[in-house]
Amino acid sequence: MPETLILDGSSIRSGGQVTRIRAFLQRFRAYDPASRVIVLEEDGAVSRLAPDRGDLEFVDRSGAGVARATRRALWQNLALPQLCRRRGGTVYLHFSHYLPYGLPGTMRTIVGVANLQPFSAEGRAAEVRLDKRLRLAVLEHTILSSVRRADRVIALSQTCKDVLAARGVDDGKIVVIPNGVEEPAAMMDSAAEGLLDELAVAGEFVLYVSHFYRYKNFERLVRAYGRLPSALQDRYALVLVGIPHHREYWDHVNATVSELGLERRVVMIPGLDGSALSALYRRCSVFVFPSLIENCPNILLEAMAHGAPVVSGNIAPMPEFGGDAAVYFDPLDEASIASSLERVLGDGSLRQRMARNGRERALGYSWDTFTRSVVDLYL
């Protein structure tokens, strides 16, 4: 008897959540040809990622506004259990760390943990507003409640599994399934050059890609760049790319650039599509990753896959993924960041070895492996 999978994508908005569910939907039929799949979404956020898929049923719980999350939680706990009964749901899968109450007792439940910021001292300390810190406290409680009740838990890293096990979650039901990384798309050199010209990125540069949130640590990176010898600043620009989800923080980083007199050397770009990012990954002299907390750092893996030498913070799980292909620094110490950048920028042979080792290491992370491992949890 085929399974009826309820895939909850109702919280999908941006970033890794989008990448993960899109990759899963593109591949899962190779491993699960028969299950009925009902996808929950809001405002068409998931169906846009999987157009013309007659094998999928979409249930759109549309809603907007400041109370969106509250209304979603009410729907998940009051209406969703009834929907599961009507549709004969046998498996509930949510990649984003939430398990509603009241689901039929016969359903098997699988919950993924995508956000480790609530469990990170550095991640919590990065938030200066009380409401943000309170939100993290609530999220920590929600995640732990969900994974303790779930039948199986997907951890995107060994670090994530260790964090959950240390808080009393049965480690026997936690399986580590890291994200994959897409094969870099080929781009003609002329097209790449034209794109970089459009972005006002000229010459050699250091690159950081991440959405603008405080825990992404942009300000310390800018200040560390400002510590570099003037000869290195003159040779290598700093390019920062990310959607300014936290507009106040974007403005703060921009003000820091101005404060340090780096307006001509630091380029801030408010988000790019995949082909544009690919061009930047390929052409950067060094990719730097100072984020204070991640679970499975997709961006770091993408940079390595493109052959960018990676200089990264040493807070777990970054070394778990970068291994010996990266050079590490203390992301809380501007001098440490600057020292690592200076070392790598000053050694072309080292950069070549790092690029080669990074490509090889990135090959170990596949969306096919991710998808097959998830399907194995319910079939």
Q: What is the pLDDT of residue 21?
A: 95
Place of tokens 């549709």: 87
- CATH for 4-180+366-376 is 3.40.50.2000
Element (H, E) at 276: helix 274-283
Residue 212, beta-bridge partner list = none
**How many whole angstroms separate alpha carbon 284 and alpha carbon 203?**
9
Q: What is the pLDDT of residue 275?
A: 78
For the chain, how big is the Rg over CA atoms in Å?
21
In this predicted model, what pLDDT tens digit does every residue of 194-222 receive, in sequence order? 777 777 777 899 999 999 999 999 999 99
**How many whole angstroms separate alpha carbon 124 and alpha carbon 133?**
6
Q: What is the pLDDT of residue 192?
A: 62
Residue 60, beta-bridge partner list = 41
User: Which is it for strands 204-209 and 174-176: parallel, antiparallel or unpaired?
Assistant: unpaired
Domain boundaries, the chain: 4-180+366-376, 189-362
Q: Which residues of 292-302 are buried (b: 16+ CB within 10 A; e: fewer)?
A: bbbbbbbbbbb
CB-based contact 299:289 (threshold 8 Å):
yes
Q: Give the dihedral sign, CA 182/183/188/192.
A: positive
Among 276, 282, 290, 163, which Cα is nearest to 225's? 290
In this predicted model, what pLDDT tens digit does every residue of 225-271 receive, in sequence order? 999 999 999 999 999 999 998 999 999 999 999 999 999 999 999 98
CB-based contact 99:109 (threshold 8 Å):
yes
One fold for 4-180+366-376 and 189-362: yes
Q: What is the pLDDT of residue 320?
A: 97
- CATH fold of 189-362 reads Rossmann fold (3.40.50)
Count of beta carbons in the 10 Å neighbourhood of residue 136: 19
Which residues in the chain land under pLDDT 70? 63-67, 185-193
Q: What is the pLDDT of residue 152?
A: 98
**How many whole angstroms separate alpha carbon 296 and alpha carbon 38?**
27
